[in-house]
Amino acid sequence: MLGSVKLTADPDVADWLGKRPATEWDAGNSSKSQAKHGFSIADVDSLLDAPVQFAGRVVEPAHEEPRHLALEVTADGRSAALVFARRGEKLRPISCRAMRKKEKEAYDAAT
């Protein structure tokens, strides 16, 4: 449990992320991450280019489409939490934001 988000380990998604899936952006998810949270498409790309340190499946809150969370550091050193959905072999970013305190603790423990 990371704050209000409950996760379960998902080694398959961590392996999949290591293969650097293509991303699927739309106007909603690209503008939300950039305007609201200050993370650009290039920042998300830098997260996906790095080796995965922490990834899990979001159990709560529940969503119709399964969501996942990856914790990583951007190329410029910012701690980021990437919430995404897996659509076939494509990764659809939902949101990219700064890690919350418990997420940062989990990331630090994993590294």
Percent of all residues in the chain with a pLDDT value above 90, rounded to a whole number = 33
Please report the pLDDT score of residue 32 as a whole number: 64
Percent of all residues in the chain with a pLDDT value above 70, rounded to a whole number = 89
Question: Is the pLDDT reported for residue 12 higher than 70?
Answer: yes
Q: What kind of fold does domain 6-110 have according to CATH? A: Nuclear Transport Factor 2; Chain: A, (3.10.450)
Q: Kindly state the average pLDDT of the residues 85-94.
A: 93
Q: Which amino acid is at 1?
A: M
Could you state, in order of their start, the residue ranges of all structural domains in the chain?
6-110
Question: Is the pLDDT reported for residue 35 higher than 70?
Answer: no
